[in-house]
Structure formats: structure tokens, C-alpha cells
Amino acid sequence: MSDPFVVVGADAAGLSAASKFRREAPDREVVVFEKGRWISYAYCGMPYFIAGYVDRMSDLLSLSPDEVDERGIDLRRGHEVVAVDPDAKRVTVETAAGDRFERAYGDLLVATGAHATTGPFDVRGLDGAFTLHDMDAAAAIDAYVAEPDAYDPDRADVSAVDRDRVERNAAMPAPETAAVVGGGYVGVEVAEALSERGLDVHVFHRSGHLLSPFGEAVGNRVEEALEAEGVSVHTDAPVEALVGDDRIEAIEADGDRVPVDMAVVGVGIRPNTDLLDGTGFDRGPGDAIRVDDHGRTSLSDVYAAGDCATARHAVTGAPDWTPLGLTANRAGRAIGATVAGDPTPVGDIAGTAAVKAFDTEAARVGILDPDAAEAAGFDPVRETVTAGSRSGYYPGAAETDVTLVADRDTGRLLGGSVVGTDRAAIRIDTLATAIEADMTAPEVERLDLAYAPPFSPVWDPILVAAKVLNGKLDG
């Protein structure tokens, strides 16, 4: 075991693994190769930086390179792993300076993340058009949105930032109208962010409701929330073209042309797996690297975690690809322990996700879509209720919509969503726990949830939803 634990990628999964391994196996070597300059940044925080809720880009970094160093981790930024030889147990590394070398590994963790796709739209070379999938893009967007004479360069206060790009964008005239292409959760967050910065914002979404994986009940409420704040929501409106020569001028969608002087395209992400090309590794959903319950790939001594890897879904038991921050952190940490000699399962995912649109909070878990439930072998029954978040007489009680899906035969809870303005999103954790415990809807109805007038009515909205769903299951 003299060869090191080699980790590819220095974000949530990679650094969680390296840190845990370092603590558990202090005498063994761990090397982290990161192709870029950024490490350990909070991808999920970028919209809030753009919104101006966060003052400094450095606030979004959970670990500095120095802190990683202090942990005894050999971090090599500007080092891209371009190939893996699983038989020889060696990786090939290319440095930003143009060098190329091989490095042997005892165990290897692929934590390469994912990259934003832009669909048919090429935003490169078109001023004012962006994709949001890294900190350089966030810094550029933030600079572009600002009035040239009002931009505070200290906002992008990290040495890794692409300063030329920031300065170029800061110098451009500030936009007044923006298009967000894609109404997934990042799209919704960016729409809020740009609206908070004073822009007239249009969101274009291909299908009938924003936040498709959250279901129609959430989509409806979030659309209302955005529109109440002046955001124009275009659903069933696939974008056909970004129009402009040097700078974005308009969006063509669904036969209409909407003039804009900014566009943020976020139509999807794809796992980064090129380094494993030619190894014959097994792929799973979303073309992600398929792993088992300990994060092991089909290649011997090669693990994968984070946005490039699958995880087992708590409802179906099958591999799933739902790239999210906790999954990455948790799997990295578990793999660090496993490689250090303490076999630790990475844990199932339940597809738990939360998002806000101004004061409206929404969250989802499990399988909400009836077609997906049927495809997984269930006979789904779905019900949405609207119930108060607090006792009716208590000030601040707000309408909360809860959707539950259960299997008709077994009553098993398959999925759920919550949307509202008062402590709505955090309520999803109750459903996530129930789903991971394989609870039935009747068991959920009998849960002893907290009742206190300022926080919940006697019958919490989740209990009301379970009660109504059970009535339907009995029928």
C-alpha cells in the first residue's frame, strides 16, 4: 500500500474524501489533482452572489488551498488527469504549464463533477450571453450586470478569478433586460437574482411548468411568485435562437422574438467522464459513472463520487443520477473512510431538493412523476392539498401546498413536494426521512409531528395530505 490515494477533482466530493482519508489514515499519502484554479467552491451559492445577497466571492469558498495544505493533503491545482490505466493502476496527468507525467495510485477517486450544457446555443463569442457553471462565469455575470462606473472589483476577491474576463464584462454597458433560458432550479434562482439587480427578466422553459422535477403544484406557485415580482415566465416556449452579432440582442422562442441585452443559458449538465474513456467502465443513468453502495466503479480500486457518479435511489433501489451538493460531500466522506480501511456506505439518495423564488420556498423528494413511478413498477396515486402553515388564528399562517405520491398496492410513500411562504421547504425533510424509512402513507398520517400555533396547526400540512391521500388509497 505504498502507492497514494489519488483524487481527481478538488471540489465537494474530492476534498471531502481527501480530508476524511487524511484523518483516518494519517500515515498514508493522498494527492488531489485539480485541473483548474478553483477549489471547494459553493456552486449552489453563485445565484445568491449574483443577486447581491453575498458580498464577496471568497465567502463562497469553504476551503482555501492553504487550509487544504494544512490538512496534510497534497493538492495540485492546474493538473488535469487525462487518462486512467486501471490495469497498471496509473493516471496520466497534464499540467497547465504543458508538462505530462504518470502517477501510480493505490486507490483512485474520480470526482470530476459535471459541466453545463448549452443545448444548441453557443454562448461563446456573444457578449452578454453566459452559462452559469463555474465561479468565473458568476464573476463575469456579476460584473456585466453592474453599471460600469458602479462595479466594485473587490466583489471578485479571489486570486483564482479570471480577472480579464471580469474587467471586460464590467466595462460593458449594463443590461436592462435579461433572458434566462431553462426554468430548472438554477434558472429560477438566476431569474430572482437578476430581478433583484433591477433587470427586467424573462424566463423561457421548454415544458409546461417551471421546475419540472418538482411537479406541477410547485411549478404553478413558483411561476406566480416570479410573476408577482415582475418576472415574465414563458412556459411551453423552447428557445430557438440567441440573436446577436457581437452582443446578445434578442431571444427567439416559440415563434416570438423578445429583445434582451443579456442571456443566461442553463439547460442542463453532463457528467465529466472523459478521463475514463477507453477503460470500459460501466455507465449509469445520465451517462454518469455507475457505482455501487460503497462508491466503487466497475474498475478495480477506482471509486467515483459527486456530480460525475450515480447513487442508489432510496425508492427504486436502482442507480440514479441527481447531482447535488450533499450527495457529493457525503459520498466523498464515505469513500475517504472506506479507502482508509473503514468500509462505509455512501448512502442512498432520495432526490431531495429545495429552491426559493423570492419569498416562496419549494422542495421535492422521491418520485413525483406518475410516469416515472409506473416505469419503476409502482401504481402511483397522487394528491395535492392546500393547508395552513400555522394555526389559522396565528398571524403569518400561509397556504402550503403538499403533494404526496404513494403506491396503491402497498401504500408505500414514493414522493412528495411542499411549496409555500412559511417554513415550507424545510418540511420536505420529514418526507425524505419517511421515504428513506420505507414508510407507508398511513404511517405518515399517524406521525407525531410537532404542533405549536406559531409553527404548525394541529394537523400539519403533511398530515393533512397523508389523510386525504389515504382516503383515495382506500377508495
Binding site for its own copies (CB under 8 A): 12, 42, 44-45, 48, 53-54, 59-60, 314, 324-327, 329-330, 345, 347-356, 361, 363, 365, 391-395, 423, 425-430, 432-434, 436-437, 439, 443, 446-456, 458-460, 462-463
Report the alpha-carbon distance of residue 72 to residue 58 in Å, rounded.
Answer: 22
Distance in Å, CB of 97 to its own copies, minimum? 33
For residue 300, the Cα-to-chain-centroid distance in whole angstroms is 29
CB of 246 or CB of 393, closer to its own copies:
393
Report the relative pairing of strands 232-234 and 360-366 from DSSP bridges: unpaired
Distance in Å, CB of 135 to its own copies, minimum? 13
Burial string for 156-190 (b: 16+ CB within 10 Å, else e) reads bebebbbeebbeebbebebbebbbbbbbbbbbbbb
Report the alpha-carbon distance of residue 71 to residue 20 in Å, rounded.
Answer: 10
The beta strands (E) that lie in 155-238 are given as: 177-181, 200-204, 232-234
CB of 31 or CB of 473, closer to its own copies:
473
CB of 250 or CB of 385, closer to its own copies:
385
CB of 275 or CB of 428, closer to its own copies:
428
The beta strands (E) that lie in 118-260 are given as: 129-131, 177-181, 200-204, 232-234, 239-244, 248-253, 256-259
Distance in Å, CB of 95 to its own copies, minimum? 30
Distance in Å, CB of 326 to its own copies, minimum? 4
**DSSP code, position 293:** T
Specify the DSSP element, H or E, that contains 320: strand 319-320
Residue length, the chain?
475
CB of 158 or CB of 262, closer to its own copies:
158
CB of 34 or CB of 460, closer to its own copies:
460
Phi, psi of 248 (to 5 degrees): -60, 135
Task: Give me the sign of the Cα torsion angle 303, 305, 307, 310.
Answer: positive
Helix, strand, or coil (residue 374): helix
Distance in Å, CB of 163 to its own copies, minimum? 21
Torsion of CA 20, 22, 26, 29, to 10 degrees: 140
Report the alpha-carbon distance of residue 211 to residue 113 in Å, rounded.
Answer: 22
Report the alpha-carbon distance of residue 265 to residue 137 in Å, rounded.
Answer: 11
> Which of the residues are catalytic?
44
CB of 166 or CB of 357, closer to its own copies:
357
Interior CA angle at 116 toward 110 and 117, to 5°? 120
